[in-house]
Amino acid sequence: MKKNIVMILVILLILTGGFFLGIFYQKISEKQSNTPKLVTKAPESTKKPSEKAMPEFQEEKQKVLIGYVQDFRDPSLIDYKELTHVIFSFAHPTKDGSILMNGKTAKTNLKTMVKKAHEHQTKVLLALGGWYHIEGGESYDYFKAAISNNTSRTKLVNGLIHLTKVENLDGIDIDFEHPRSNEDAKNLNIFIEALDEKLSKLDKELTIAVYSKIHSVTGTEIQSVVYNPNMFKHVDYVNIMAYDGQWDGEYNAANLSPYRFAENIVIYWSTLFDHLNIAKDKLVLGVPFYAQPENVSINQMSYGAIVKESSENAQRDSVELNGTTYHYNGIQTMLKKTDLAVDSGFGGMMIWELGHDSVSGDFSLTSTISNELAKKDEQQAIFARK
């Protein structure tokens, strides 16, 4: 009996302990379930997201307006604020590499031009060469001899550098009219490279005037003028003389510089520079400020003189005066040519010659071109920012 009672007590004790032990573990579980769990941060990916670079805005280069001025012109009459560059024309090479200028008047005019142009932040370059030589005849023979050997070529380069320093010039323009053989082209290239090397050290510019290279009627390439394409890499601007097309064959005043002629020239030089992988903004389209008479025995006439006869002539490209018909480029053609050059990626426009312009601002071809270039610059700047 006693043994049975002890057994019953043991069983009750076990049941009671199990009951309380279950309650204890239940409370612990509830407590753990209510405690926030710490989440271990997953490892970062080693692949970084690519960052898109901000588009880089490139300011378009200002289009240039380059005007040649003959050495006898009064430099006080030039409107420099319309121009980026003015080129004083000409210094003349001798066969031994010396440099001649047209007397004291030319030297005085050059100094005055530099002073007045710099007041308007217009650059002044000195042109070497031209068609006629100060000592008579064509300049070709003198220029050819000067660059044909190292002695005279070096003398010519050093003389130009000296003038650049002494006259406070912004650069030199080369107008060799025209290399007629591969030998001429080779020597001109050597000369250009040597001059560029020295001018670059002075932070000065080097430009070159070139023949149009295109027949005005057929649009085919002229083979009688030869250039070494490498030299174009060593100049800042290539001033294309896109006029005097009548010399392609029989005299024809109407071929002075019609719009179609300019189109063919732009196509030719654009294609060439694309092929050479040279920036087309080095190219500058030249335009004439003079009129060619159909009567070959009569002298050329300036655009200014034609407009002085009648302001209506500014809107024309030909006019009958003094018993003959003159062909030229009026305001509308100048606007079209300026648009053609800029839209084709050219660097700007060149003028031969500033002294032939109208003194009236309303009919000035210089102002016409300058305003159109400014308008095109503004349009391109707006487009580039979009």
Q: Outline where 148-210 has alpha helix (H).
A: 150-166, 182-201
pLDDT category, 356, cuts 50, 70, 90?
very high
Asked, for residue 47, whether it belongs to a domain, the answer is no
3-state secondary structure of 21: helix
What CATH number should be reported for the domain holding residue 174?
3.20.20.80
Asked if residue 312 has pLDDT above 50, the reply is yes
The predicted pLDDT at position 217 comes to: 87
The predicted pLDDT at position 292 comes to: 97
Which of 218, 303, 320 has its CA nearest to residue 260? 218
Asked if residue 147 has pLDDT above 90, the reply is yes
37-53 pLDDT tens trace: 333 333 333 333 333 33
Asked, for residue 119, whether it belongs to a domain, the answer is yes
Overall domain count for the chain: 1
Asked, for residue 24, whether it belongs to a domain, the answer is no
Asked if residue 3 has pLDDT above 60, the reply is no
Asked if residue 359 has pLDDT above 50, the reply is yes
Asked, for residue 167, whether it belongs to a domain, the answer is yes
The predicted pLDDT at position 15 comes to: 44
Asked if residue 89 has pLDDT above 80, the reply is yes
Average pLDDT of 217-234?
A: 95
Asked, for residue 100, whether it belongs to a domain, the answer is yes
For 322, the domain range is 64-385
Asked, for residue 288, whether it belongs to a domain, the answer is yes
Q: Which two tokens stand for residue 276?
A: 């050479």
Asked if residue 360 has pLDDT above 90, the reply is no
Which of 31, 66, 366 has its CA nearest to residue 236? 66
The predicted pLDDT at position 247 comes to: 75
Are 193 and 186 in contact, with CB atoms under 8 Å apart?
A: no
Q: What is the CA radius of gyration of the chain?
A: 39
Average pLDDT of 81-99?
A: 98
* CA pair distance 140, 253, nearest whole angstrom: 24
Asked if residue 143 has pLDDT above 70, the reply is yes
Asked if residue 196 has pLDDT above 60, the reply is yes
pTM of the model: 0.84
Asked if residue 302 has pLDDT above 80, the reply is yes
Q: Please tell me which residue, 386 or 129, carries the higher pLDDT value.
A: 129
Asked, for residue 149, whether it belongs to a domain, the answer is yes
pLDDT category, 365, cuts 50, 70, 90?
very high
247: DSSP letter: G
Helices 182-201/150-166 angle, 10° precision: 40
The predicted pLDDT at position 50 comes to: 36
CA 159 to chain centroid: 27
Length of the chain as a residue count: 386
Which of 344, 267, 333, 336 has its CA nearest to residue 303? 333
Asked, for residue 57, whether it belongs to a domain, the answer is no
